[in-house]
Structure 1
Amino acid sequence: MGLTTRILIAMLAGIVVGVVFNFLNTSQLLGSGLTGFINGYLTEGLFDVVGRIFIASLKLMVVPLVLVSLVCGACALSEGSRIGPLAGKTVLLYLLTTAVAITLAMVMGLVIQPGVGVEATASAAFEAAESPPLSDVLVNIFPTNPVEAMAEGNMLQIIVFALLMGYAISRCGEPGQRIASFFNDLNGVILRMVGVLMAFAPYGVFALLAKTFATLGMEFILDLGVYFLVVLGTLLLHGLGFYSLLLKLLTGLNPVELLKKMRPAQVFAFSTASSAATIPVTLSTVEKRLGVDNKIAAFTVPLGATINMDGTAIMQGVATVFIAQMYGVDIGLMGYLTVILTATLASIGTAGVPGVGLIMLAMVLQQVGLPLEGIAIVMGVDRLLDMVRTAVNITGDAVVSTVVAKSEGAVSEEIFYDRNYNSVADRAATSS
């Protein structure tokens, strides 16, 4: 059985087990002893420990993988002086997809009107974290201590340091060639480590989803059912429809092939709800299954995990319309245009800040004069939506990586269209 199939089975099994455990807990069909065993030893015990170990093992690989891959990629790109055009195209595409995402979300919200008839909860409260000023954001992109940046997992600073180092290596002649050879060998070792960790992925996915659904259940969706369905529908429309259209128009490649080969990475993103933690899987998938050259993928994937916020932008668009309708506030055309501009720029401006989605939403609501208390209301269903929008985000990273690589002539169509490549990659990862 291939790794992809095992992961999908683990995901479904985790959801089923979690829902069953939640039903047994809430229905009180079991005695206190069995209920305590399920909650204490399985949900908050075994599942929690295995899930957290799995997340920690993924995060372990993020910094070395991003640093080494980017150094290798920057070395190759610097020889042809392609770093500038590559960075420009990548950032432009990420901003474009984010702007389209939030526009689509607000259109869906205005058409379906999920907030009409919903009563605002007066006691709901949300204390917004202070958003960083633009000057600090720009300054903090550049590291003062690269070791500290790596220790804290500051992706933007790591990216800048790796690009500078790769550029310098490519300009150092024979000593630079020796260092570049070392980094290329180290990159191979790190990718093998990723393969070793992937063999344990089904167990981690099962534990994460079992705990999530055992804790939340499904009844939490009912209170905000229309809002939940609008956000979910928009995420699926953007992830399956817009990305497919963008890929087809800009590359001519078959989007169905991309979506099929992205399933393992999407499952990881769904179960971890973290684009950063999914970087090793996304990068491996983009290179080995989609045929994108490492020197392109090593730059676009980590950058996308840091600044590509399409899923979050969709949540912000629908949530803004929902909160405005719920409180009976008409923010007008200029208000909606302000939301599009603010959320698009904030997708870069708040990158790397903990709780980025809620901080961005607070910024958007402040710009159009809507009460921040509305955030506390939509937070009730945000956990599951966060899992879905993370899967959308990494799909966007893969699409933009493929589009940029195609424009640079750095996509292997033979790998992209090889339908047997999934099983080969699965066996390689499993055997590792």
Structure 2
Amino acid sequence: MYIVIFIALLLALYVLQRKGMKFNGLVLIALVVGVVLGALARFSLVGESEAMADLSSAFHLIGAGYIDLLKMLVIPLVFTSLVSALLSLSDKGAANFRASAIRFVAMLLILTGISAGIGMLVGKVFNLGAGLVIPGVDLQPSHHYTGVVDTILGMLPTNPIAAMASGNAAALALFSIFIGAAALVVKKSKVADVKPFESFIQSAFEISKQLARFVVALTPYGVLALIANVASATGASSLLSVLSYLVAIYVAMAIVFALHLVILATQGVSPAYYLKNAYKALLVAFTTRSSFGTLPVTEETLRQKFKVHPDLATFAPTIGSSIGFNACAGVFPAMLVVMAMTIMHQPITWQIIMMVMFINAIASLGISGIPGTASIAAAVTLSTLGLPYAIIAIVQGVDPIVDMGRTATNVNGVMATALTVDKYLEKEESNSVAEVQAV
């Protein structure tokens, strides 16, 4: 009976989707319905092990299928997005202010790594994943952590094809960065030679993004199946775990936000002054949940409110919409790592935390413009550590709520970094003038 109800609910979601219901609403409905269906099955099928096994198999078919499609996206998206992002740098005016650009990018990536560390620590304090199980998923890591040195060596792309075949997304990311950097250098002197390659990469990136849209559209069905399977195995504790995650990730993002303010304060920018002038961009980011959509407001804020150098005010929001992502690529994947490792009863050591910080900074390169940006970044981290992807889908039901805070945190990181770099350059210029006058 429950299998028939499950199929009927999937069809109902399809009908609602065809009628134009908003994606976020569909996912939220799938979450609630999945919890109810799983909980009812858990209590009404007590002692009926065969019926429960059949129902779990039905849940697993749809849920695991969705997870496998998510895995499919990682390789084409990581490669094409990274190479495309690096090739586009020559079109964004970075050559005119190389020092500013390098400082901005370096600081944004470092902040993303630090944000990941904050996410890990907060997730550990909240004990995320405790009492949660993922039925039907192999909870043994696909490979074991063997130390920082061996892990870094394992990330080096000695064989890019093997890295793709084994799902080593971090090694593929590094290979993509090397290819993109080499192509960028050649492009500066031999534009015609690189043009066919650049066109191919851009076309492949657009096709990969469209493929991602197809898979992301299946999220409501995957969430329904996965959360129903979890609820049927754990009951109310599954919902409590999701709510605990929701509170924990906002706490972590608040700490990252506060860190931005502290950094600005070290450059003589008071938090009150900053918030008074930045609130509009942050509000737009929070409500639209789009770094790209907020880009004009971010640029206007930097240029007119904070009087940041015009070149940097244009460059920072643009490139900051392609890399960095303190929350999407920093906090979010780190929290999923904590949840997965807790479920698998794996120890969360300082070495693991440092490794996640490094991996997340790398994974944040060039993933914007991709549907499900945060999920793709998380997939890179999870695959590198050999952790199950299924944990991503478990929290998808509350992702719209989380994404509002994530986007605002991302945009705040971009503005704080741009303003810090600008203040630093102002001090350098003042010191240079003072030295000249002294001579």
TM-score (norm 1): 0.55
The aligned residue for residue 111 of structure 2 is: 93
Partner amino acid for 1:55?
L
Report the Cα offset of residue 389 of structure 1: 9.3
Per-residue Cα deviation, 1:390-415 (whole angstroms, up to 9, x for no partner): 99699758844763477459xxxxxx
The aligned residue for residue 149 of structure 1 is: 163
Query: 2: CA distance between counterparts of 1:297 and 1:101?
Result: 21
Report the Cα offset of residue 245 of structure 1: 4.7
The aligned residue for residue 205 of structure 1 is: 219
Query: Would the aligned equivalents of 1:99 and 1:341 in 2 still touch at CA under 8 Å?
Result: no
Query: 2: CA distance between counterparts of 1:22 and 1:342?
Result: 37
Query: 2: CA distance between counterparts of 1:307 and 1:167?
Result: 27
Query: Would the aligned equivalents of 1:143 and 1:161 in 2 still touch at CA under 8 Å?
Result: yes
Map 1:32-43 → 2, pairs under 5 A: 39=55, 43=59
**Structure 2: which 5+ runs fail to align?**
1-16, 132-138, 265-273, 297-315, 361-379, 420-439
Query: 2: CA distance between counterparts of 1:101 and 1:159?
Result: 22
Partner amino acid for 2:42?
T
Query: 2: CA distance between counterparts of 1:315 and 1:185?
Result: 40
Map 1:16-415 → 2, pairs under 5 A: 16-28=32-44, 39=55, 43-45=59-61, 47-48=62-63, 51-52=66-67, 54-56=69-71, 58-59=73-74, 61-75=76-90, 79=95, 81=98, 84-104=102-122, 130-172=144-186, 176-186=190-200, 188-194=202-208, 196-197=210-211, 200=214, 203-217=217-231, 220=234, 222=236, 230-239=244-253, 241-245=254-258, 252=278, 254-262=281-289, 285-287=290-292, 290=295, 295-300=319-324, 305=329, 309-312=333-336, 342=351, 344-348=353-357, 384=394, 399-400=409-410, 403-404=413-414, 407-408=417-418
Report the Cα offset of residue 208 of structure 1: 0.7
**Structure 1: which 5+ runs fail to align?**
119-125, 263-284, 325-338, 360-380, 410-432
Query: 2: CA distance between counterparts of 1:260 and 1:4?
Result: 21
Q: 1:101 to 1:174 in 2, by over 3 A?
A: closer
Aligned residue pairs total 333
Report the Cα offset of residue 64 of structure 1: 3.7
Which of these residues, 26, 29, 42, is aligned with residue 13 of structure 1?
29
Per-residue Cα deviation, 1:158-178 (whole angstroms, up to 9, x for no partner): 343333333333433676323
Query: Would the aligned equivalents of 1:286 and 1:297 in 2 still touch at CA under 8 Å?
Result: yes
Partner amino acid for 1:21?
L
Q: 1:175 to 1:101 in 2, by over 3 A?
A: closer
Query: Would the aligned equivalents of 2:295 and 2:317 in 1 still touch at CA under 8 Å?
Result: no
The aligned residue for residue 279 of structure 1 is: none
Q: 1:87 to 1:297 in 2, by over 3 A?
A: same
Query: 2: CA distance between counterparts of 1:348 and 1:199?
Result: 28
Query: 2: CA distance between counterparts of 1:313 and 1:98?
Result: 10
Query: 2: CA distance between counterparts of 1:297 and 1:48?
Result: 31
Report the Cα offset of residue 27 of structure 1: 4.4
Report the Cα offset of residue 49 of structure 1: 7.2
Per-residue Cα deviation, 1:179-222 (whole angstroms, up to 9, x for no partner): 55445534543454355346545651121111112212277265
Report the Cα offset of residue 89 of structure 1: 0.9
TM-score (norm 2): 0.54
Query: 2: CA distance between counterparts of 1:402 and 1:19?
Result: 35
Partner amino acid for 1:62?
L
Partner amino acid for 1:258?
A
Query: 2: CA distance between counterparts of 1:103 and 1:36?
Result: 37
Per-residue Cα deviation, 1:66-97 (whole angstroms, up to 9, x for no partner): 33323324545774546743453133202332
Per-residue Cα deviation, 1:31-76 (whole angstroms, up to 9, x for no partner): x9x968983885344x347625642553364234333323324545
